[in-house]
Structure 1
Amino acid sequence: MSDHISMRVNAGRLTGLTGNTVRLPCKVLRLSDDSAIVEASDGGQVEIQRKNVDVTGTYIEVLGTVVDASSIKALATIPLDSDDELDMKLVNDVIELTFESRFDKIFPRYQTGSS
């Protein structure tokens, strides 16, 4: 089952997940040809390597592989835009809840060696 996990994370949760597939809900701050700088739900900035991956919208979810504690290689993006701003504090609260051990059966996560 762990082969198919793609946990939702914030910038602070990237540490220790190098090589794993994750989902990062975020706000696009800057775009360049092959990369983007985004703000994760916890306010941290993450570089998205986005070669051949379109970024459309202000708020997106990046599905990608963690390169290091501050960058992700995008596999795809999903637009999250609506008529209103996305409540990133609420998004972050949900992400943090998924890391609580009492929800392990609902939200499986990677084994990182620490809880």
Structure 2
Amino acid sequence: MDRPTPRVNAAKLAEYSTGKVVRIIGKVLSLENDQALLETSDKGQVTVKLMKDSNLADTFVEVIGKKSGDAVVTELSSQNLGESIDLELANKVVELTHAYPDVFPTNE
């Protein structure tokens, strides 16, 4: 994606309307058919509807997607982030980006 997107956790995702493109870091809890269940940085859960060529292969991933329902995001792109991420630190980044929108613009 070549435009800034807001970083969200489960709580911040709930604040956006359907159709908003967002960015989520999370731990893959399950992969079934065409969807993944992520534990977000605030310990919430978000379902990600996966693209046909999705390749979520690591424990931790970042997903850029379009909000398509309550706690549901449709994947537009994703990045594998490895087997170890500090989700507490990732959550602090989410909170800071929302606390200081002048420093972290999202073109809203």
TM-score where L is the length of structure 1:
0.83
Choose 60-69 or 41-50, whichever is displaced more. Answer: 60-69
Aligned equivalent of 2:101, options 100, 104, 108: 104
Residue in structure 2 matched with residue 86 of structure 1 by the alignment: 85
TM-score where L is the length of structure 2:
0.88
What do you get for the CA RMSD once the two structures are aligned?
1.7
For 2:11 and 2:64, locate their aligned partners in 1 and report how far apart those are by CA, in whole Å.
Answer: 17
For 1:89 and 1:69, locate their aligned partners in 2 and report how far apart those are by CA, in whole Å.
Answer: 23
Shift of 1:54: 1.9
Letter of the 1:63 partner, please give it: I
Residue in structure 1 matched with residue 77 of structure 2 by the alignment: 76
The reply to whether residue 51 of structure 1 matches residue 48 of structure 2 is: no
Q: Percent identity?
A: 35
| Runs (5+) with no aligned partner, structure 1 | none
**Greater strand fraction, Structure 1 or Structure 2:** 2
Letter of the 1:104 partner, please give it: P
Residue in structure 2 matched with residue 26 of structure 1 by the alignment: 26
For 1:33 and 1:65, locate their aligned partners in 2 and report how far apart those are by CA, in whole Å.
Answer: 19
For 2:107 and 2:13, locate their aligned partners in 1 and report how far apart those are by CA, in whole Å.
Answer: 11
For 1:107 and 1:60, locate their aligned partners in 2 and report how far apart those are by CA, in whole Å.
Answer: 21
For 1:110 and 1:96, locate their aligned partners in 2 and report how far apart those are by CA, in whole Å.
Answer: 17
For 1:4 and 1:59, locate their aligned partners in 2 and report how far apart those are by CA, in whole Å.
Answer: 23
Moved >6 Å (runs of 4+): none
Task: Give the number of aligned pairs.
Answer: 105
| Runs (5+) with no aligned partner, structure 2 | none
Choose 51-60 or 35-44, whichever is displaced more. Answer: 51-60
Could you report, residue by residue, the CA deviation over 1:44-96 in whole angstroms, capped at 9, with x for unpaired residues? 010000031221100000011011230000011101115xx211001101110
